[in-house]
Structure 1
């Protein structure tokens, strides 16, 4: 075999391996929204972003590719770095609907960069670039106004306790799909409504019934804390 041909084959093999490693298929997305009152009412620190205190509303945590067996791909393409210039037209909406509460106070870019590098790069196999990935999550939040759905069912962020089944039923009726509920525990050891998982098809455009619901460690009655 000629040396040039040998080099070409090796380069082709490396390229194929790269594609296999970093263009992973997945089965569905988890679209996760977080209640800020529960995030802040725990042992870890909570800081408002530089844009100011977020509205008392569910904020996006992430749009995460997942497999039906419960595992998930992550950090799929180390060469696809977060580029804030690609989402410049989305920043004001992201500050409102995808705020950061981590400390120290920041502008959200570190949070969004983490979400893209860990999760968003695994959605590139579905031809979602950075702008499309973040915009898809913002559109999904508009489709599922969880606070309005819960408020319409008489479930409000007023520090009161509500049946977990009632929360699930309200969201199921409001969206047409069964949610996954994740709870945390406050200083008084009370179970609080923390995160709500909805499942989305691989195009990141339509809600679907979850192939697998996360285990949320919730009590039968959970507190909906104020924010």
Structure 2
């Protein structure tokens, strides 16, 4: 009995630590523009399923905290299994493709997203539900259409960052976090749009103050074609 009691006492701090590290307050649904992935010095490779459509594609569904921190790689014993998402594959190939080289069947990309981010939400989602939740959220918002409605087109022209943020705020109803990268010539361009989602992974919400501001962007950003 003393041995069992000692084990229980020693185990409590460890369990508490894991819960603290892997807790979270909301999700980012991260949508990336493929043209801005592919025109960098690193370039891109289309997946085996073919060239994706010219639309904002899912990068990931990432648990985050209100203070700006985020958990990652929360459960190494709960690794990705493609058999769990067999009914979602065609949808994921269209909406969540890998553009990394070399060309692939996307599984390594999806495995990375689940292992790093999805396992931190496994108290809410199993693997199948995690990927399905991201797909369902993407179906609710068309960032390209929202931008196009405000005259912001992927035509290699530059637009003010404030006009992009305002267009999404108006057309989507909530603010977003814009992320930029550089093309092969060094021009700053629109890369990703991060939308905030409640902890259930089902509804969009206003982003917390800690997420205000857009990363790696300048006041004018290019919107490349694809």
Among 149, 152, 173, the residue aligned to 2:149: 152
Q: Deviations over 1:181-219 (max 9, x none)?
A: 111111222110000011111101111111132641211
Query: Hey, what does 1:202 align to over in structure 2?
Result: 199
Distance between the aligned counterparts of 2:6 and 2:171, measured in 1? 55
Give the TM-score of the pair, scaled to structure 2: 0.93
Change (3 A) 1:141 1:186: same
Query: Hey, what does 1:184 align to over in structure 2?
Result: 181
Runs of 4+ off more than 3 Å: 11-16
Q: Deviations over 1:47-102 (max 9, x none)?
A: 00000000011110011111112111000011101011111111101001101000
Change (3 A) 1:129 1:160: same
Q: What residue ranges of structure 2 are gaps of 5+ in the alignment?
A: none
Q: Deviations over 1:82-132 (max 9, x none)?
A: 01111111110100110100011001000000000000000013x211111
Give the TM-score of the pair, scaled to structure 1: 0.92
1:37-48 aligned at under 5 Å gives the runs: 37-48=35-46
What do you get for the CA RMSD once the two structures are aligned? 1.7
How far is the alpha carbon of 1:46 from its aligned partner?
A: 0.5
Query: Hey, what does 1:54 align to over in structure 2?
Result: 52
State the number of aligned residues: 223
Distance between the aligned counterparts of 2:52 and 2:218, measured in 1? 27
Q: What residue ranges of structure 1 are gaps of 5+ in the alignment?
A: none
Query: Hey, what does 1:124 align to over in structure 2?
Result: 122
How far is the alpha carbon of 1:8 from its aligned partner?
A: 5.9
For the pair 1:219 / 2:218, whether they are aligned, the reply is: yes
Query: Hey, what does 1:162 align to over in structure 2?
Result: 159
